Amino acid sequence: MAPKKENPTKRAAVPNAVIENAGVMVEQPITETLEKNYMPYAMSVIVSRAIPEIDGFKPSHRKILYTMYEMGLLTKGRTKSANVVGQTMRLNPHGDAAIYETMVRLSRGYEALLYPFVDSKGNFGKAYSRDMAYAASRYTEVKLDPICAELFADIDKDTVDFVDNYDATTKEPTLLPVTFPNILVNPNTGIAVGMASSICPFNLGEICETTIELIRNPGHDILSTLKAPDFPGGGYILYDEVELRKIYSTGRGSVRVRCRYTYDKQNNCIEITQIPPTTTVEAIMDKIVELVKGGKIREISDMRDETDLSGLKLTIDLKRGVDSEKLMQKLYRQTPLEDSFSCNFNVLISGMPRVMGVGEILTEWVAFRRECVKRRVYFDLSRKKEKLHLLKGLAKILLDIDKAVKIVRETEEEREVVPNLMIGFGIDEVQAEYVAEIKLRHLNREYILKRTEEISQLETDIAEMESILKDDKKVRSIIIGELKGVMKKYQQPRKSTLLFPSEEDEIQPEEEIPDYPVNLFFTREGYFKKITPQSLRMSGEQKLKEGDQVVTTVESVNTAHLLFFTDRHQVYKARACDFEDTKASVLGDYIPAKLGMEEGETVLFMAVTTDYKGYMLFVFENGKAAKINLSAYETKTNRKKLVNAYSDKSPLAGCCQLEQDCEVLLTATNTRMLIFHTGAVAAKATKDSQGVGVMTLRKGHFVASVKLFVEGMVANASRFKARNLPAAGALPKAEDVGEQLQF
């Protein structure tokens, strides 16, 4: 019986060797980890994914368009999108879904580009709709739009570099030799690691004209030819010369875009047909619904999306008697119907991200295009020189055709034909090879004469090309000629209209708020109620949480300003109209949640004012008091929160709102009481003033209670009134205080 052979695989699997450093924790500096692990990823995202290059494309765009060009879709009819997606995966192995989504954004049907590159058929969704999804790639058809001829012009003449694809089975271009500044013609946004890019689109005609003027005169005023961005969705651009010049010079800034609408008087409705590029129909509708539910807009009766094959249409039905213009002004301020496009012209130049202004980008593009033109001319020059060399050899054969035939006929071996022709006519190997390959039917004088007539034209062309390579002026003339050709073929009117705001437009009208009497209630636990007098008369008892009680009751109006002072030395501002009218039978709004206060922050006091006249009196446990002008809390902007609302040097014992100076009763922890007149305390404009000493306290004691003094509150009040400040106050007798002063 033969011995059983040992399986070498099994033997290797036995863990009889200890792995070196297994289970050992090795300390590694975080900087080293970032450098080794995170930096390569970050650089890949920046250089190979998110930031566009000078031709105006990211790698994903370039791979799709080049694949379609190789498939012949520039001249052929449409093909299924799935075919393009499949072919593109030879260059872009990131999954079919990502490739198809990228192609959708390049399509005419999606309407995201000012000058689309993909001529599409089928449902490609819409850039202005969040919910309108594109159809699957097996249902839609695509081909390249005619403007793509300008992307691939002379790409086969070595105008740009080619590199291997990811598995080295084919080649792809590193850039496309675009004949116009596509980088500024179509919008391009991307978020990389630690940086982003956001390039707004400009009208093709204006960009080409600006580029031509910059080539002729580097000091050209760009704003004179490049009026403003031009968005594919149209709308109105609010013209701001200062901001535009900032964008053109630095590459950073923002452009305000407003929707376009018409008012249908017959049906009393507003029809919105163009919206800013930064929003969608659904986002606008959601915001309007939120405002209507919150009671901030009451002029709208209905709203519907009537978008169809003819394009975007959002209809807003108005209530009777509503001024449509005033309503739109309100919607501009509170909804995305007017929005800002933030510009960040970050472009990869030779693999390095750079934020540049329009002039600098166009200068870089001209330099790139100059290189493309020179490489194309050099390529043609090399071909013409090769052809001239061959024809000069053919011209020598013309001197004695019979001799050439005789040499070929009398040569015994085929490999000797070329050397014998070289010797016989004094030509080199390349010329001799060309002559030897001529067909027998072409060995006649007429054919050879016709071919050699090209020599003079070739010599003229070669001289012209060599002069172009030596003279930058001629290269610039070629670029200008190409730009003019692009303008003639593809220029179209602006889609976005310039709107020059007047001074009146810049002044935001005060929002019309219904003004009527209200009763305001605030509880110790932080609940707020706004109740109309009519509702209050018909109500029963106030509904409160167990253990809670109303601490502030104010009769005011719906337009009143509310100031909520908290234990974090902050004040939160609101308007009475920000709250819904309610009833006594409900708990009301919980202020910390309603106003977005910090976790654990509680409200100490609510002040109510309509004109910011009067004072706020803050009394601290250390016996000091600060009287602050209420106007110190008034702001020109609608700020919702102010920090340093009062001093934080000592804990707050209590605060009061004073319409005018009056007497205040302080009680200390040792039961001493002091009545002082607030007129003795100077008013301050600084909110966090530490105040002045009012009550002298013994060691270990502090102010425990602050109340506005009313005659009859204590007996023998004169005993407690201070003649000078600070004062220690007096100890009360049993008959001096009532239950209302217990603390």
Instruction: Say how far apart CA 17 and CA 2 lie, in whole Å.
Output: 31
Amino acid at 568: R
Instruction: Say how far apart CA 583 and CA 535 lie, in whole Å.
Output: 7
Angle at 343 between CA 200 and CA 107, to 5 degrees: 30
Pairing mode, strands 692-693 and 624-629 = antiparallel
Q: How many CB atoms lie within 10 A of CB 296?
A: 14
Instruction: Say how far apart CA 19 and CA 605 lie, in whole Å.
Output: 69
Decide: helix, strand or coil at residue 508. coil
DSSP labels, 439-479:
-GGG-SHHHHHHHHTHHHHHHHHHHHHHHHHH-HHHHHHHH
Owner of token pair 């970032």: 34
Residue 554's Cβ-count burial label (10 Å; 0-12, 13-18, 19+) is: middle
3-state DSSP of 377-413 = HHHHHHHHHHHHHHHHHHHHHHCCHHHHHHHHHHCCC
Are 696 and 623 a contacting pair, CB within 8 Å? yes
Look up residue 563 and give its two tokens: 């100031």
Instruction: Say how far apart CA 64 and CA 70 lie, in whole Å.
Output: 10
Cis ω on the peptide bond leading into residue 726 (within 30° of 0)?
yes
Are 621 and 652 a contacting pair, CB within 8 Å? yes
CA gyration radius, the chain: 41
Instruction: Say how far apart CA 300 and CA 156 lie, in whole Å.
Output: 60
Residue 99's Cβ-count burial label (10 Å; 0-12, 13-18, 19+) is: buried
DSSP labels, 181-239:
-GGGTS-EEEE-SS-EEEE----HHHHHHHHHHHHH-TT--GGGT--S---TT--EEE-
Q: Which helix (H) or strand (E) holds 693?
A: strand 692-693
Are 469 and 374 a contacting pair, CB within 8 Å? yes
Q: What CA–CA distances, in Å, run from 717 to 32, 162, 654?
A: 76, 97, 21
**Which residues does residue 589 pair with via DSSP β-bridges, in sequence order?**
528
Q: Which of 69, 128, 134, 139 is catalytic?
A: 139
Instruction: Say how far apart CA 660 and CA 684 lie, in whole Å.
Output: 14
Instruction: Say how far apart CA 720 and CA 666 lie, in whole Å.
Output: 10
Are 154 and 376 a contacting pair, CB within 8 Å? yes
Are 274 and 499 a contacting pair, CB within 8 Å? no
Active site residue 139: yes
**Catalytic residue numbers?**
139
